Amino acid sequence: MLSIQQSEAFPRKQPRNHQSRNIDRDERYQGIEQRADAMGLELTDERLEAIDFVLDFYAHCEDCRNARQLMKVMDQEFAEKGGKKYLYRLFPAGPLSQIHELTNLPDLGHQTDQGFGTSY
């Protein structure tokens, strides 16, 4: 369940109309399947659920460039399944990094930190 502050950052009720970020899901999923094959990653229902969540986030948010904010929202959304640990089991190279690579979305600010060796 999203907290009040984070639910305001990601109101899933109605998509915002962002012409520059119009995401065509059918076209995007064709590319996702190809990139997943190239990465050797099987697209299970659990992985597709996380991918759909990120695509929904992009359709609704004002500022989609903050990796920390998105990871907190995802951690809460998937808390019943294990939160971050669950997401890292699905995407071992970093949930946000692999989802963004699969969906061909732009990288987020501070998505990876080579100094600490972390990757969201």
Per-residue pLDDT of the chain (120 residues; tens, 9 = 90+): 444 444 455 544 444 444 444 556 677 788 899 999 999 999 999 999 999 998 888 877 766 677 778 888 999 999 999 999 999 999 998 898 899 889 888 777 655 555 544 555
CA dist 21 and 113 (Å) reads 26
Per DSSP, 19 falls in state: G
Residue spans of the domains in the chain: they are: 4-10+25-119
CB atoms within 10 A of CB 76: 16
CB atoms within 10 A of CB 31: 12
